[in-house]
Amino acid sequence: MKKLTFYLRNFLLYGALYLLISMSFSACSQNREDNEEVVINDAVSVPKLLPRKTATGTQEENAQIVKTYNEALEALKVNAGDSKQYLKLASVYITEGRVTGNNGYYSGAALKMLDKVISSKPEDSNILFESLSLKSAVLLNLHQFREALAVAEEGRKLNAYNAGIYGALVDANVEMGNYSEAVKDCDQMLTIRPDLRSYSRASYLRQIYGDNKGAITAMRMAVESGVPGMESTEWSRVNWGNLYLNTGQLDTARMIYETTLSYRPGYAPAEMGLAKVYAAQKKYDAAVIHAKNAIRVLSEASYVAYLGELYMMMGDKAKAMDVNKEVVRLLEENEKEQTKGTIAKHNGNRELALAYLNVNEYDKALEYASIDYKMRPNNIDANDLMSWIYYKKGNYTEAKKYSSVVFQTKIKNADMLYKSGLIYAAAGDQTTAAKLKKDAISVSPYIDASYQ
Quick one: three-class SS letters along 93-156?
Answer: HHHHHHHHCCCHHHHHHHHHHHHHHHHCCCCCHHHHHHHHHHHHHHHHHCCCHHHHHHHHHHHH
Of the chain, the end-to-end C-alpha distance in Å amounts to 50
With vertex at residue 195, the alpha carbon angle to CA 161 and CA 378, rounded to the nearest 5 degrees, is 75
User: Which segments in the chain show pLDDT lower than 70?
Assistant: 1-35, 54-57, 339-343
Q: Write down the pLDDT at residue 77.
A: 92
Q: Is residue 365 part of a domain?
A: no
Task: Provide φ and ψ at 47, rounded to 5°.
Answer: -60, 140
Q: How far apart are CA 94 and CA 425, in angstroms?
A: 46
Cα separation of 27 and 272, whole Å? 13
> What is the DSSP code string of 341-382?
S-SS----HHHHHHHHHHTT-HHHHHHHHHHHHHH-TT-HHH
In a domain, 41, yes or no: no
Q: CB–CB of 365/372 below 8 Å?
A: no
* pLDDT given for residue 8 in this prediction: 38
Q: In which domain, by residue range, is 117 found?
A: 1-21+30-36+53-143
CA distance 297 to 53: 9
Alpha carbon distances (Å) from 129 to 153, 157, 187, 438: 11, 9, 21, 49
- What is the domain count for the chain? 1
CB within 8 A of 102, min separation 6: which ones?
Answer: 29, 30, 31, 32, 50, 96
Q: Is residue 103 part of a domain?
A: yes
Contacts (Cβ under 8 Å, ≥6 apart) of 120: 81, 83
CA dihedral 34, 44, 123, 193 (to 10 degrees): -20
Task: Say what the pTM is.
Answer: 0.87
In whole angstroms, give the CA distance from residue 152 to residue 166: 8
| Domain membership flag for residue 348 | no
In a domain, 99, yes or no: yes
Q: Are 202 and 404 in contact (CB under 8 A)?
A: no
Domain presence at residue 220: no
Look at residue 87 and tell me if it is in a domain. Answer: yes
**For 78-101, what is each residue's pLDDT tens digit?**
999 999 999 999 999 998 888 777
Closest CA to 12 of 65, 57, 84, 71: 65
Residue 221 to residues 15, 59, 154, 412, Cα–Cα distance (Å): 18, 27, 30, 21
Contact by Cβ (8 Å): 106, 138: yes
Residue 46 phi/psi, 5° resolution?
A: -130, 150
In a domain, 70, yes or no: yes
Helix (H, G, I), strand (E, B) or coil at 46: strand
Which element (helix H / strand E) includes 190?
A: helix 179-192
> Model confidence over 147-202: pLDDT tens digits?
999 999 999 999 999 999 999 999 999 999 999 999 999 999 999 999 999 999 99
Neighbours of 256 (CB within 10 A): 26
Residue 117: name the closest of 102, 134, 103, 104 by CA: 134
Residues facing 45 on adjacent strands? 39
pLDDT at position 280 is: 97
